[in-house]
Amino acid sequence: MKKKLVLIIVLCLMLVIALSTMVLMLLKAVSLKADEIVYEYGQPLHIEYTSLLDTEDQQILDSLSVDESQIEYEENQTYPKVGEYSIPLHYQSFFKKMTTSLKLIVKDTTSPQFDKSTNEINLFVNDQLDIEASFSCSDLSGCKLLYDTSQVKLNQEGSYPMQIKAVDPYENENIMDFMIHVKSRPVASVGNQVTIVNGLLIVNKKHGIPSDYATTEDPVAKVQIQKLISDMQALGYDISSDYNGYRSYSIQRDLYNSYVSKYGQAKADTFSARPGYSEHQSGLAFDLHHQNRKLVKNENEVQWIAQNAYKYGFIVRYQKGWEAITGYQAEPWHLRYIGSKAEDIYRSGLTLEEYLGVEGGNYR
Ligand SMILES: [Zn+2]
């Protein structure tokens, strides 16, 4: 009897254990296949919640209700703001209400794009540098351009390798390399245009020169004219160290006006340039003087200059017989600095106009 009783008790205990295990199993929370979901910012939100629950129990799946109330959306958009959100999932397991939580992470990992960019920015000396006129960027989260132009010297010629970054608020960035070239200004924008042919500036009555083209003598030309003068002096020629070189627009204007009031315009135009048309304004022209400060006219000096000026890089710009082309009377004292092509022009026997193939003669 006792044996039977013990057996019944043991069986009952086993039954209780089995039943409670079954109940515990039924009450056990359903786990999620993933605890968190990562979305790229800008992606419209659409989550298949039922497929996230690790169960095939249709009753549980049918009971699922999701609370998306914590998710903050961008205004008028179907995508959430960057951030982390908790999404409670409620479901009925056996006879108990259960809740589990899904974490939604919305990240911005997308780099900003350049909408406008360039490989190089070309500037003239003393131009304004405006990087944002050449570059712009866009990004869903907003972006700004970062660059450092502190090394760029705008007041002289030079080239600078540069880097520009487009960055968004989430440390995503896009980097571009480009160059800034600062070049000297070939054409000043005041009044007339500069005419340069084969690298040589032409100034005559058809081709003017801007009033602010030069502010002083060309430094190379200056060295050369001083060398020519000192060589002439060493050879015993009557030549003054005191030449007449650069003239500003306003000085030329005053000079020309004084000639016009003295001789009339027609006469003045044969030997004096109108302001804006004088080669002296270029800083490349020089009038040589005798020791008595008068313009060089003596045959000895005139001849030596005519035959030797090219050795110093000069040409005698206005010669006898050339008046119709150069637009001026002969001026054996007036030298124009040319550089290495001076000898070629000298040997050609041509006016600078003919040599360069440009129009000369009188004013339009
Ligand atoms: Zn002159």
Q: Which domains does the chain have, with CATH numbers?
A: 33-107 (2.60.40.10), 113-183 (2.60.40.10), 195-356 (3.30.1380.10)
Residues 6+ apart with CB under 8 A from 166: 111, 112, 113, 114, 135, 137, 139, 143, 144, 145, 146, 173, 174, 175, 176
Of 35 and 231, the one with more pLDDT = 231
- Computed from CA positions of residues 192, 251, 186, 121, in that sequence, does the dihedral angle turn out positive or negative? negative
Q: Considering 217, 279, 331, 353, which one is annotated as catalytic?
A: 331
- E-strand stretches of the chain: 36-40, 65-66, 83-93, 96-107, 113-116, 120-124, 136-138, 144-146, 158-167, 173-183, 195-197, 200-202, 285-287, 314-318, 331-337
Task: State in Å: Cα 316 to ligand 1 middle.
Answer: 10
Look at residue 241 in the predicted model and tell me its pLDDT.
97
291 CA to centre of ligand 1 in angstroms: 17
- pLDDT digit string, tens, across residues 60-88: 889 999 999 999 999 999 999 999 999 99
> Ligand 1 centre from 242 Cα, in Å?
14
Task: Confirm whether 331 is a catalytic residue.
Answer: yes
For residue 94, is pLDDT > 90? no
Q: How far apart are CA 209 and CA 188, in angstroms?
A: 9
Percentage of the chain exceeding pLDDT 70: 95
User: Helix 299-308 and helix 219-234: axis angle, to 10°?
Assistant: 130
Q: How many CB atoms lie within 10 A of CB 98?
A: 16
Q: Using CA atoms, how far apart are residues 327 and 332, in angstroms rounded to an integer?
A: 15
Going by C-alpha positions, the residue among 64, 59, 30 that lies closest to residue 47 is 64
Phi, psi of 52 (to 5 degrees): -85, -25
Condensed to tens digits (0 to 9), the pLDDT of residues 195-249 reads 888 889 999 999 999 888 899 999 999 999 999 999 999 999 999 999 999 999 9
Q: Which residues pair with 175 in a beta bridge?
A: 165
What's the 189 CA to ligand 1 centre distance in angstroms? 25
C-alpha to C-alpha distance for 100 and 34, rounded to whole angstroms: 12
Instruction: Give residue 25's pLDDT.
Output: 63
pLDDT digits (tens, 9 = 90+) for 325-343: 999 999 999 999 999 999 9
| pLDDT tens digit sequence for 159-205 | 999 999 999 999 999 999 999 998 865 533 334 578 888 889 999 99
User: Confidence class of residue 26 from pLDDT cuts 50, 70 and 90?
Assistant: low
CA–centroid distance, 288 to ligand 1, in Å, is 8
pLDDT in tens, 290-339: 999 999 999 999 999 999 999 999 999 999 999 999 999 999 999 999 99
- The reported pLDDT for the residue numbered 190 is 37
pLDDT, residue 292, reads 96
Q: Can you give the pLDDT at residue 34?
A: 86
Question: Around ion ligand 1, which residues have CB less than 5 A away?
Answer: 287, 334
Q: Would you state the structure tokens that stand for residue 12, as one six-digit string?
A: 């009952």
Question: Is the pLDDT confidence value at 124 over 90?
Answer: no
Phi, psi of 292 (to 5 degrees): -80, 10
- The CA–CA distances, whole Å, from 54 to 21, 35, 48, 51 equal 20, 11, 13, 8
Q: How far apart are CA 249 and CA 214, in angstroms?
A: 9
pLDDT of residue 191: 46
Please report the pLDDT score of residue 189 as a whole number. Answer: 35
> Rounded to the nearest whole angstrom, what is the distance from the C-alpha of residue 335 to the centroid of ligand 1?
7
